[in-house]
Amino acid sequence: MKKNIGILLKLFIAIFLLGYILLTHDISKIISHLLNIPLLLWGFVFLLMVVQVIISVVVFMLFMPNQTFLSLLYVRLVSFAYGFILPGQLATEGVRAYLLGKDEKSFGQSSAAVALNKIITVIVLLFLGTVGLIFAGSLGYILIYVFVIAGIVLTLMLFSLASLFFYNRINRLLLFLSQRVAGFGKFFNVLAQMAEHWHGYTRNIGLMVKVFLFVLLFQLSVAIIGVILSYGVGAEASFLEWLWINSVLTFVLILPISLGGIGIREGSLIGLLGQIGVEPEQALAVSFGFLALTIIQALAGIGMEIGLMINKKEGGH
């Protein structure tokens, strides 16, 4: 019941924010900007979205080579669909770990893969955001210092369990807690399995380099989509500017405030793109372009889930 109330509250926030934004801006201009984007540019954007999905699947194939491409594609799209309904990007990661983890041991592995992917994504975003802020930023040097410090801290945290010194002590602590804390044995066992896989992954330098490169390509493609959509609506936003805009926007969307980031994305892009002289209606058109890509992926995930349910039902007969 409380969970449903939370979802309804965040749905209300999303509708309220989006409604307020639309009422205070020229809707006809927003629609006009969207209609002015050539079909060729939409084609490039759609192609980049497909590339992003493939990259996401390949990253998890590196972490979990026992999984097939199709099974990981299913997990990617279905978790994206649930993440669109549930508040915050972390909900997507939680659903992904759940779908990948079929038992206690594999759940520990999937949780480690999901957590590492998220941390590496944040590190890459901090790096790209720093580059963008240095060469094309307009938010001041304080944010650059914050990004650099946060990136260093997260990198140290990422590779901390690669050290046998830290791993052995954390593993002993988790095993001790699993035996002593009543009712939480399974929970601490999963954490121990997660630590074991985290340790193995981070000691594999080749794996880490490949994951970092694929995540980097993914985020660069997001910035390219931003440039294409901006150009399509007649706004001037360079690739370097989109590096830091994408980083800041992604961090804002992590907050579980509204469903699918609706309202938050639009308001944030009005402010961020406004820093470089983009009109609010142009920024909203760009935001709705990104929202359209999100909806397409969510619908694909819902379609795959419904198709699987129908196949299971028919198989039961």
| DSSP 8-state code for residue 87 | B
Tokens of residue 67, six digits:
């999984």
Task: For residue 250, give the amino acid letter.
Answer: T
- Residue the block writes with tokens 């240095």: 134
CA–CA separation, 49 and 246 (whole Å): 15
Tens digit of pLDDT per residue, the chain (317 long)?
555 666 677 777 888 888 989 999 999 999 999 999 999 999 999 999 999 999 999 999 999 998 899 989 988 888 888 777 665 566 667 677 777 776 556 788 888 999 999 999 999 999 999 999 999 866 778 889 999 999 999 999 999 888 888 888 898 898 888 887 777 778 888 888 889 999 999 999 999 999 999 999 999 999 999 999 999 999 989 999 999 999 999 998 887 777 777 888 999 999 999 999 999 999 999 999 999 998 899 899 888 888 877 877 666 55
Q: Are 230 and 236 in contact (CB under 8 A)?
A: yes
Report the candidate in 191, 147, 200 with the shortest Cα–Cα distance to residue 172.
Answer: 191
Residues whose CB falls within 8 Å of the CB of residue 199, separated by 6 or more in sequence, listed in order: 161, 162, 167
Token pair listed for 195: 């630590």
Tell me how far apart the alpha carbons of residues 16 and 263 are, in angstroms, rounded to a whole number: 8
Neighbours of 259 (CB within 10 A): 24
Q: pTM of this prediction?
A: 0.90
8 A C-beta contact, residue 272 and residue 249: yes
What's the rounded Cα separation, in Å, for the pair 118 and 56? 11
Residue type, 65: P
Q: Which two tokens stand for residue 178?
A: 């699993």
